[in-house]
Amino acid sequence: MKIKTVCFSPMTPQIIQLLLSVDPVLQNLDLKFMPPGSPEDEAIEATRDTEIILGDYTHRTKINRRMIESAEGLKFIQQIAVGIEIIDIEAARERGIPVANIAGFNSIGLAEHAMMLILSLLKKTPIMHAETSRCNWLQVQVVGQGSAWELSSRTLGIVGMGSSGTELAKRVRAFTPSILYHKRNRLGAAEEASLGLKYASFDELLRDSDVISIHVPLTDETRGMFGRETIAKMKKNAILVNVARGEIVDAQALADAIKEGRLAGAGIDVFYPEPIKPDSPLIGLPNVILTPHIAGATAECARRGVIYLGRNVARYLKGEKPINIVNGL
């Protein structure tokens, strides 16, 4: 008997084929696709008799309490991403429904994107590109003012040392900067040494870092983490990079700090709300790079994510315990 499964993430025929080829047991899925951002009533009606829900990696479809309580046969929710803020975890827990994500699948893509932003901003690439395109040759000014920097002479602060923060540390180490990190649970001495890291309190990291890269999940504790007060504590002419979640950074406070000359720039891949709005205070600022939540959107990450997804759904179908359960069931 086919297992009714509703997927709120868009997939190409090639991706669907790859998913179903991960394990023969996946041929038992009766897959129905709903467009991301489907009206709530339509999404709830589509899931009313489903056993498995595959979440929306675009984060436009909420798997809310009403949907979870209406889906009487629902037994497993698998998010096709790392972030789970679109899912009512508590409602699923109350019904005994495990919720899983695919943690780690995009950590290399996130780390490489953060590296790209860091290096581009240190060399003021957005400004140099814009001015050179206007035939405004700034070579003498840049050399004379020393307004571009080498990463090797800077201090990098990594906020959050999960999989993407760790991958960033591995890559940055080749540039031989000083690397500070902050996380809730400090790493062991051996791991710190292997990655070339020095632990710092949050305030120490803000004070001492020339570049700060954010790699924490969105939680009640991290929402608004980089607000006006926090940004004011950052080192003058520091650079802020965010490849985590938009709600972690107060966009207006960040824009004000850049316009006032307190910060030297920012690289932002995530926004709140998404997509970015035309009136975003970050649009048009000098030495700011904005990308549309694509830090982890590489061909390799996509393939890895589909394989992680397929393996975990296969575990459920075989009666095994799925991995990366986020609600303790």
The residues annotated with a catalytic role in the active site are 245, 274, 293
**In 3-state terms, what secondary structure has residue 283?**
coil
Element (H or E) spanning 212, and its range? strand 211-214
Q: Is 267 helix (H, G, I), strand (E, B) or coil?
A: strand
Residue 46 and residue 1: Cα distance in Å, rounded? 19
Question: Measured between alpha carbons, how far is 149 from 153 in angstroms, rounded to an integer?
Answer: 8
Q: Which of 100, 69, 94 is closest to 82 using CA atoms? A: 100
| DSSP-derived secondary structure for 196-228 | TEEE--HHHHHHH-SEEEE-PPP-TTTTT-B-H
- The answer to whether the CB of 270 falls within 8 A of the CB of 243 is yes
Side-by-side strand order, sheet with 76-78: 29-33, 3-7, 52-54, 76-78, 99-100
